[in-house]
Homo-oligomer: A and B are copies of this chain.
């Protein structure tokens, strides 16, 4: 049996799951007349778009595609009447994107995560789910620090996050944005209320988080 490191095995598994996500994205997007990229854009615009409209460049960075590709996809969405383009007030070069009512409706309808994967995850015990979530947070944080991911709106990197400030093991953390305690299972990987912390503070928060969670 060839020796493969645990990391390599994990990457293989992630790649496999990535393939499932990709094929399910097609299956869900196609009936709605969308491609996966278009559906992803719609979802992003829908998820955190209301207050501060997305710019095209930010969208491209988020989806890990070039601005040229993003421009293509946005045009397709505009042709379909789902998205509106507007010049930014404060920057005549930039383009702001907002959903039309039709777009918002379709985004809401398409937003559901792939059932098969959710059901598969539900076969894990709660402890396994928590461990998986923590592992993913660690990985995503590392990827962000190495520049592979533009912005990761993780609780553990957020200005409002206070890890392990309560004795209650169910809800040890505090979110200063909503001013409420919460637990590991509510830790978010992509919070709309995220506010970036400076590097040193984020590192300190992370250290406190892992130290007490070990």
Q: State the oligomeric state as a number of copies.
A: 2
Q: How many Å from the CB of A19 to the closest CB on chain B?
A: 5
Q: How many residues of A contact B (CB 8 A)?
A: 69
Q: Which of A5-37 contact B (CB under 8 A)?
A: 6-24
Interface of A, helix, strand, loop or mixed by DSSP: helix
Inter-chain contact A7/B121, CB cutoff 8 Å: yes
Comparing A72-80, A86-94, A185-193, the segment that makes contact with chain B is A185-193
Q: How many Å from the CB of A49 to the closest CB on chain B?
A: 15
| Set of chain B residues within 8 Å of A126, measured between Cβ atoms | 6
| Set of chain B residues within 8 Å of A1, measured between Cβ atoms | 175, 177-178, 180, 182, 186, 188, 191, 193
Q: With A120-B146, A142-B119 known to touch, is A129 a contact of B6 (CB < 8 Å)?
A: yes
Q: CA of A21 to CA of B18 in the docked complex: distance in angstroms? A: 8
A83 close to chain B: CB less than 8 A = no
| A172-185 contact mask (Cβ, 8 Å, vs B): 1 or 0 | 00010110101001
| Set of chain B residues within 8 Å of A195, measured between Cβ atoms | none
A58 close to chain B: CB less than 8 A = no
A64 close to chain B: CB less than 8 A = yes
Inter-chain contact A20/B149, CB cutoff 8 Å: yes
17 new A-B contacts, CB < 8 A, other than A6-B121, A13-B137, are A1-B175, A1-B178, A7-B121, A10-B121, A10-B129, A13-B140, A14-B18, A16-B189, A19-B64, A19-B149, A20-B149, A22-B64, A23-B64, A23-B65, A116-B146, A128-B131, A131-B131
A-B contact pairs, 23 of them (CB 8 A): A1-B182, A1-B186, A6-B133, A7-B118, A7-B129, A8-B113, A9-B185, A9-B187, A10-B132, A10-B133, A13-B137, A13-B140, A16-B149, A16-B189, A17-B143, A20-B143, A23-B65, A116-B146, A123-B138, A123-B139, A124-B138, A124-B139, A135-B135
CB-based closest 9 A-B pairs: A120-B142, A13-B136, A23-B64, A18-B18, A7-B121, A6-B129, A132-B135, A131-B131, A120-B139
